[in-house]
Amino acid sequence: MLQVREVSHSYGKRNWLDRSGARPPVLADISLTIEKGVCLGLLGTSGAGKSTLGKIILGLEKPSQGQVLFQGQDIYRSSKPVLKGLRRDLQVVFQDCYSAVNPLMTAAQIIGEPLDNYERLSAKEQLRVVGQLLEQVGLTPEDGSKLPHQFSGGQLQRINIARAIALKPKLIVLDESISSLDMVHQTQILSLLAELRASYGLSYLFITHDIRAAMTICDRIAVMDQGKLVYSGDAGNSVMQSDHPAVQQLVTAILPEHPSGRISFG
């Protein structure tokens, strides 16, 4: 479904006054694949290049080199109508649930935006579809009339998720989507994401620095370090046993100091 082929990237100069010369690459020769229905966890410490790769996959940042194929089409070389179709099937949920929404729009308007752009539903039909989406993410149709500031962070992230699934996409990029939530909301959103994936046959690219969250939801794990892919494999105990320092750093970050409290995944 998604193939990233030998992608390398350097950010350009900030502006014409910037004399810092060529910027160092932030991604170097990254190749990865996400199959239908699979959740791939993309991990790495801060600055590893995860979000840059996410933006490239979403069509928001053209890579300096390499290709991104989504449903067999090169997203940086497709015609506008093809691209519009691909965008429908490729959605995103960002970390900051508040900045991802217009504070003056109701929840129903936020969730209805992609439907306005892609489907011409009658007002009555749209109301029904939005009500269903709200229920699917654990809210009520009545919540549709509320504004973003009337929701908790966890509830607002559910609205962002409802917007992302409104068009029944094939792949959702979840860029640190649970990181700003407390543990209780993180757990709830992870189980919501798992349920939605099962009912829609979705694929996820789950970008995170939290290996524990990734092990909960992902089938496969890829770890980046300084712009390079340094580990790729099934989500299971083998990743915990990898001796690559970047993987070890992620594992150590979740281990309690006392060995008796240590957890195992499998």
Ligand X SMILES: Nc1ncnc2c1ncn2[C@@H]1O[C@H](COP(=O)(O)OP(=O)(O)OP(=O)(O)O)[C@@H](O)[C@H]1O
Point out which residues bind ligand X (CB under 6 A). 11, 26, 44, 46-52, 209
Q: Using the minimum distance from each CB to ligand X, give the nearer residue, 209 or 220.
A: 209
- 3-class secondary structure for 217-240? HCCEEEEEECCEEEEEEECCHHHH
Using an 8 Å Cβ cutoff, are 90 and 170 in contact?
yes
* Residue 134, amino acid: L
Q: Using the minimum distance from each CB to ligand X, give the nearer residue, 198 or 253.
A: 253
Q: How far is the CB of 41 from ligand X (least distance, A)?
A: 13
Q: Using the minimum distance from each CB to ligand X, give the nearer residue, 56 or 189.
A: 56
Q: Using the minimum distance from each CB to ligand X, give the nearer residue, 150 or 252.
A: 252
Q: What is the C-alpha separation between 52 and 55, in angstroms, rounded?
A: 5
What number of other Cβ atoms are within 10 A of residue 161's Cβ?
A: 25
Q: How far is the CB of 16 from ligand X (least distance, A)?
A: 15
Q: How far is the CB of 58 from ligand X (least distance, A)?
A: 13
Four-residue CA torsion sign, 221, 227, 229, 230:
negative
Q: Using the minimum distance from each CB to ligand X, give the nearer residue, 12 or 72.
A: 12
Q: Using the minimum distance from each CB to ligand X, give the nearer residue, 18 or 116.
A: 18
Give the chain's largest Cα–Cα span: 59
Q: What is the C-alpha separation between 194 and 207, in angstroms, rounded?
A: 15
Q: Using the minimum distance from each CB to ligand X, give the nearer residue, 52 or 177.
A: 52
Q: How far is the CB of 177 from ligand X (least distance, A)?
A: 13
Q: How far is the CB of 49 from ligand X (least distance, A)?
A: 4
Q: What is the C-alpha separation between 167 and 169, in angstroms, rounded?
A: 6
Helices (H) and strands (E) in the chain, counts: 9, 10
Q: How far is the CB of 51 from ligand X (least distance, A)?
A: 3
| Bridge partners (DSSP) listed for residue 234 | 220
Q: How far is the CB of 144 from ligand X (least distance, A)?
A: 32
Q: What is the C-alpha separation between 201 and 191, in angstroms, rounded?
A: 15
Q: Using the minimum distance from each CB to ligand X, give the nearer residue, 51 or 155.
A: 51
Q: How far is the CB of 50 from ligand X (least distance, A)?
A: 4
Using an 8 Å Cβ cutoff, are 6 and 30 in contact?
yes
Scan for tokens 């309690």, then name that residue.
Answer: 256
Using an 8 Å Cβ cutoff, are 133 and 161 in contact?
no
Using an 8 Å Cβ cutoff, are 227 and 26 in contact?
yes
